Amino acid sequence: MRLKNSMLSLAMALLVSSCSSTEETRSTAPVTFQAHDIAEYRGGYAVEVADFNSDGLLDVVANSTGNPELVWHENPTWEPHVIVSDTRGIVNKAIADLDGDGIPEVAIQSAFAMQAANSEGINWVASSGGNPEGTWDAQPIDRFETSHHVVWVDLDGDGALELVNAPLIGPGSLAPTYDQDSASVFWYGQENWDRGIIADADIPGVIHRVRKVNWDTGDRDEILVASFEGIGRYRAQGTGDAMTFEKELISRGHV
């Protein structure tokens, strides 16, 4: 998974469509998109949208493994606002309004490398203190090698979001196959950010993405984890530190 040393232009897409005012039918004309250059990032890695200043407009937040800053760009002028700086190896992030003030907090993963020995895997939670254009406070909550995938979910259905961290590989996995060890998945509660275990070094090879779902239509969210073994669905039982997790392999992989 090498990153090319290229320039990434972030773009907003404007969808143009038409609808008949008399018959209320959709136009059959082709949908067109207009690109708007926002910023250039060397080795651009990930991009998300969220309303960072509670004005009803979706802003853009982007990062690059070659850029030590995480920046959100304010819609519609795309003025940049720095969330964190002097932070190497930023990979993924998750955005959610944890305190209900209309301004999101951001979970960030940094110091990533493809070898566990070179990857400190720092997990942060950044808060603007209600002023997203100002200085953000980013607090490290955990360190685990190759921390790489992150998502906010309500695992126990109490209305407060937990943070899920899925490292890319187990500590003993090495190039080129990355199949010598198994990976774990962790969760953190907002009260003290202590590390809890969803999967304890039992996911073979590489994990590449974790996603929130709610297929049981209850208060509890579930997560999907994609890896060498396929797609696993994890559901929590119990609450707080006593939570345990039920795993269902819903699609088998190659191991």
Confidence of residue 21 (pLDDT cuts 50, 70, 90): very low
Instruction: Indicate the domain borders of the chain.
Output: 44-205
Cα–Cα distance between 143 and 171 in angstroms, integer? 13
Q: Which residues, including other chains, have CB under 8 Å from residue 78's CB and lie 6 or more apart?
A: 36, 38, 39, 60
Mean pLDDT of 52-63: 96
Cα–Cα distance between 93 and 50 in angstroms, integer? 12
Token readout for 24 is: 């209320």
Residue 26 has pLDDT above 80, yes or no: no
- List, for residues 171-222, the tens digit of each pLDDT value: 999 999 999 999 999 999 999 999 999 999 999 999 999 999 999 989 999 9
Residue 16 has pLDDT above 90, yes or no: no
Exposed/middle/buried for residue 105 (C-beta within 10 Å: 0-12, 13-18, 19+): buried
Can you give the pTM of this predicted structure?
0.87
Residue-level pLDDT at 217: 82
| CATH numeric code, 44-205 | 2.130.10.130
What does pLDDT average to over the chain?
A: 90
